[in-house]
A and B are shown apart, each in its own frame.
Chain A
């Protein structure tokens, strides 16, 4: 198995001079295909910054990133296209577009990738059915529970057959039962789609589902 995502010497600092903060400090990491990796650590230890670097949302101050074997050239690469085609994101606060229905929220990702409307609609309906929301296709986010919203987020992340999904604290805003249901879904999706998943979490209880747990402290990986 090859690495889906790899980072070498990744460093990210914000600000300059006395205000300079090093969020990620010379991190080397590789995530293998179909792996479920969990990033754990205290708040502010650099977990979200690291997945933002690996997900090509942030540009590293130092170091390099490889996605699907291809080194990212930040000056010349179309990062938005790369994110659209190869990376899925799930956010802690769901971040669904409030005035769109569940199916439309999933279709947005496919619209960005340039998929035809009818194909996008069909695939979005299939994905929402897979995540157990076949009865909620035309509900708006305000009409969905937290767990349902996060399922829509996962469906949106899966929309364009990504190589990897980065999920930032996906269970943080869910109660324990909803959190457990979501992790069951993650297992099912991983089994079905063979998608690589990297999850940032505080929940110690989720460790048991991970292939690998990466512990971070002060911007560095302290244990794997």
Chain B
């Protein structure tokens, strides 16, 4: 889940925008159905709280591209070349950026060049073709990896191309991102922009922090509630198994404990012996668990990031459960009758 959180935040942070504008009532740029009309753009380009000309219209939408004959998943990011929201020449690892369209001069009859910059992890070659909505796009460049949640790769293309392949040539965008002007905090800028629009109530303005919170709530925390529950159950189950193993292992030593007591071991000695074994087992188990979790995290089919605090909690829970198992076993052990030494074989 930490991996999902990291991935969910990667792209919004990467854009450099600290103001995210979506259609009023959509909840947020990434959450609900948001379509902004082109008329918003000239107004936002000159809005006082925003850095002049920083407003960048964006199409950000899930798509099912056909790659090498197979249906895949990706996020289409359509943006205007030179504006916020996409990789610059510097972020390309191979090839070039797509050819920019003349957005403002566009006419319906114009067909934008269908070029796409893909995530380097998609393992596509320059010149390869992918299909989105039956439209054929040519890979012209590869960008540094910026996966969205669940390892969903980003496909960068010209805003017009995105509108053509996803919105049937409509000029709408689903968000506008921007940077605040000097002297404006994102919170103040958001407040003032909404105040300008108070009469029409057409836009919803959020700061980067709010947007990140929205994304994590919607794409990570909410869907992961069941997983969280499952995770707690797994912790408990694992802990109980460890505790039971500790308990049963000690019970198997009844004869040995009986002999030790017969030859003079005190209850304290027996309890200390069991405690030492339990602590040793717990420490070894925890170390093995941590090593394995890091190995499995690398081998996992999706990006997994191990959070040190969560690891600490798991370690603590495992240790406490082990010790509880050891405590119960220890109590059982000190109750062993030393007469068992006369009765059986070890």
Contact = CB atoms under 8 A, between A and B. Distances in A.
B263 A89 contact: yes
B259 A97 contact: yes
Contacts of B345: 93-95
Contacts, number: 64
B303 to A, nearest CB: 44
Contacts of A150: none
B334 to A, nearest CB: 10
A176 interface: no
B269 interface: yes
- Secondary structure class of chain B's binding surface, majority of residues: helix
Nearest to B256: A97
Contacts of A101: none
Nearest to A51: B342
Interface string A83-115: 111011101111111100000000011001100
Nearest to B344: A93
A114 B338 CA distance: 20
Interface in A154-180: 156-157, 160, 168
Name which of B255, B260, B344 has the most chain A CB atoms within 10 A of its CB.
B260
A84 B255 CA distance: 18
B317 interface: no
Interface residues of B, number: 19
A84 B342 contact: no
A95 B265 CA distance: 15
Contacts of B256: 97
A52 interface: yes
B261 interface: yes
Contact of A57 (B255, B260, B267, B338): B338
A96 B265 contact: no
B263 A109 contact: yes
B342 A52 contact: yes
B341 interface: yes
Interface in B290-346: 338-339, 341-342, 344-346
Contact of B346 (A92, A96, A112, A113): A96
Contacts of B255: 95
Interface string B228-271: 00000000000000000000000000011001111111110100
A113 B263 CA distance: 10
A97 B264 CA distance: 15
A39 to B, nearest CB: 13
Interface residues of A, number: 30
A57 B339 contact: yes
A83 B262 contact: yes
Interface in A109-133: 109, 112-113
B274 to A, nearest CB: 14
B262 A89 contact: yes
A84 B261 CA distance: 9
A113 B346 CA distance: 22
Interface in B192-247: none
A83 B263 contact: yes
A167 to B, nearest CB: 11
A97 B262 CA distance: 13
A78 interface: yes
A91 B259 contact: yes
A95 B259 contact: yes
A108 B259 CA distance: 11
Given A80-B265, A82-B264, 11 more contacts: A57-B339, A80-B261, A80-B267, A83-B263, A84-B263, A89-B341, A95-B346, A108-B260, A108-B263, A112-B263, A168-B342
The 7 closest A-B pairs by CB, nearest first: A84-B264, A93-B345, A83-B264, A80-B266, A95-B259, A112-B265, A112-B264
Interface of B: 255-256, 259-267, 269, 338-339, 341-342, 344-346
26 contacts: A52-B339, A57-B338, A57-B341, A80-B265, A80-B267, A81-B266, A82-B264, A83-B264, A84-B263, A84-B265, A87-B264, A91-B341, A92-B342, A93-B345, A95-B255, A95-B259, A97-B259, A97-B346, A98-B346, A109-B263, A109-B264, A112-B264, A112-B265, A112-B266, A112-B269, A156-B263
